[in-house]
A = this chain, B = another copy of it.
Amino acid sequence: MPTPAAKLDLTFQALADPTRRSMVERLSRGPASVSELAQPYGMSLPAIVQHLAMLEDSGLVRSEKVGRVRTCRIEPTALSLAEQWFNQRRAEWDQRLDRLGEHLQRFPDGEPK
């Protein structure tokens, strides 16, 4: 079981590519078969399968084969983990701005000498 930090490594690595981001964008709107997913890109099937493997390794996507069709779905918990990382940064950043604002209200002309 990878640690949360290792999961974030894989998630951000997976998202650092426009094709893979666009696959995640497509799957956020609903499940798709591998051939539906491949359709917009004009890439070889092996290249598509390799991108999908990175998305599956990161936990962002899971797939299931029923009969001859492999269907891919988004895994919202992996997206949430990364989203939370940004939310935490924003919260820290906002707290910092709040502290600066309070400081400026208390000492509008700078620190007392």
Q: Which residue numbers of A lie inside 8 Å of B, CB to CB?
A: 5, 8-10, 12-13, 15-18, 21, 24-25, 28-30, 74, 76, 79, 82-83, 85-90, 92-93, 96
Contacts and interface: CB of A to CB of B under 8 A. Distances in A.
- Which 10 pairs from chain A and chain B are nearest by CB? A12-B16, A13-B16, A83-B86, A28-B92, A12-B15, A28-B89, A12-B12, A28-B93, A5-B18, A29-B92
Given A10-B16, A12-B13, A13-B16, 19 more contacts: A5-B18, A8-B15, A8-B16, A8-B18, A9-B16, A12-B12, A12-B16, A13-B13, A16-B16, A24-B89, A25-B92, A28-B89, A28-B93, A28-B96, A29-B96, A74-B89, A82-B86, A83-B86, A83-B90
A89 B83 CA distance: 10
Number of copies: 2
B74 A25 contact: no
